[in-house]
Amino acid sequence: MLSASDAAHVLRFQSFLLEDAARLDTWHAAIRATVRPGDVVLDLGAGMGILSLFACEAGAARVYAVESAPSIELARLVAADNGLEERIVCLRERSQDVELPERADVLLTDTTETFGLNGQLLSAVIDARARLLKPEARLLPGEIELHIAPVEAPRAYSSLVDVWARDFRGFDLSAIRPFAANNKQPLALEAEALLAEPAALGALDLGSLTEPSFAGRAHVTATRAGTAHGLGGFFAARLAEGITLSNDPRQATVSYVRALLPLAEPLPLGPGDDLAIEVSTHDGREWSWGVERTPASGGPAERSHQATLHGFPRTRKELLGK
Ligand SMILES: C[S@@+](CC[C@H](N)C(=O)[O-])C[C@H]1O[C@@H](n2cnc3c(N)ncnc32)[C@H](O)[C@@H]1O
């Protein structure tokens, strides 16, 4: 049985998702534009099944609502309560472990979170294409673009990274600081924190992707003086023709927070400074990011490189496998 605190967490997360009117309106419009009467739909990461309900409204004959978390029990309840228990098949499993009696015409998956790729979204989609979807299936999203910009985030940096460099009743905890600086963190990024116009690192085509990895590069030019504490990352997921779900901080947008990829040390920037940025990820689980700054005033370039691989002390067993 679910503990009281787990139940509270599940309900809080689902209500957080549902209260986001921009997210729901975008998904609703995209599902109405894509799902056709009689379609079989796979809702991968169904939560309490809101996208499955939208798919039924658009005429889906059957929806497989696949969810590894306990929230699927809410989906079961709501489907029955809305007279849809025959059309929405709720399965409490990871999509990678599920077997379906038929292949689906449409994939719905809102597993994008802060930086477009929730852990294992890419491998889950590759697996779904191979086993659970028809070859010509329509994918929502079909493409995810990752965007990046240097950001000034002194409070987040102080509480997440520099906190470890302070004196704690005379004890030195600074050995932890380098690990903290190598972790990707959620960030409530506001547009005012951007130090340059964001640039696209590249796009992932979920319909043709064969490896669950991404590597992208971008060049940005600082538009004002400030201190870069890290890179701010966000995404734009194309759900249907002309319908995009994004957590771009410059738009009135979905409530998903953005990602902070901290720098090892805060980097002062002047207007016109050039930043070459590289970001790569394996399946949204491990990330690495590098920055090379070339000052507008001339002078030597400065580089920094971080990776989640260095985000926690490894035990001997983890490093050597024994
Ligand atoms: C952001 S929630 C979205 C829930 C719902 N689809 C909605 O739009 O409100 C993402 C959900 O996907 C689930 N999830 C992620 N990857 C999954 C997988 N491979 N198989 C099953 N569930 C998955 C998570 O447990 C989480 O509940």
Assess whether the C-beta atom of 237 lies below 6 angstroms from ligand 1: no
pLDDT class of 260 with cuts at 50, 70, 90: very high
Helix then strand then coil, % of the chain, to nearest 5? 30, 35, 35
The predicted-structure confidence for 187-216, as pLDDT tens digits, reads as follows 988 899 999 999 999 999 999 999 999 999
- Cα of 89 to ligand 1 centre, how many Å? 15
Average pLDDT over residues 40-67: 98
- Does the beta carbon of 226 sit less than 6 angstroms from any atom of ligand 1? no
In the reported structure, the alpha carbon of residue 152 is separated from the centroid of ligand 1 by a whole-number distance in angstroms of 31
CATH of 144-320, one of 3.30.2270.10, 3.40.50.620, 1.10.760.10, 2.70.160.11: 2.70.160.11
Measured CA to CA, the distance from residue 238 to residue 145 in angstroms comes to 8
Mean of the pLDDT values across residues 292-309? 92
**Nearest atom within ligand 1 for CA of residue 17:** 9
Specify the ligand 1 atom closest to the Cα of 93.
21
Note the pTM of the prediction, 2 decimals: 0.94
What separation in Å is there between the alpha carbon of 66 and the centre of ligand 1?
8
Helix (H, G, I), strand (E, B) or coil at 314: coil
In this predicted structure, the answer to whether residue 252 has a pLDDT above a threshold of 90 is no
Residue 192 to residue 114: CA distance in whole angstroms: 18
Task: For residue range 16-51, list pLDDT tens digits in order.
Answer: 888 888 899 999 999 999 999 999 999 999 999 999
Note the pLDDT of residue 53: 98
User: If you search the block for the tokens 């975008």, which residue do you land on?
Assistant: 26
Say if CB 49 and CB 24 are below 8 A apart. Answer: no
The pLDDT, as a whole number, for residue 158 is 97
Q: What architecture does CATH give domain 4-110?
A: 3-Layer(aba) Sandwich (3.40)
Q: Which of 59 and 253 is assigned the larger pLDDT?
A: 59
- Comparing 108 with 256, the larger pLDDT belongs to 108
Say what the alpha-carbon torsion angle 63, 67, 73, 74 is, to the nearest 10 degrees. -70
Yes or no: say if 30 and 139 are a contact pair by the CB < 8 Å rule: no
Domain range annotation of the chain: 4-110, 144-320
- Distance in angstroms (rounded) separating the CA atoms of residues 26 and 222: 32
Ligand 1 atom 1: residue of nearest CA: 111
- Nearest-CA residue for atom 24 of ligand 1: 45
Q: Rounded to the nearest 10 degrees, what angle do helices 50-57 and 21-34 cross at?
A: 40
pLDDT class for 298, splitting at 50, 70, 90?
A: confident
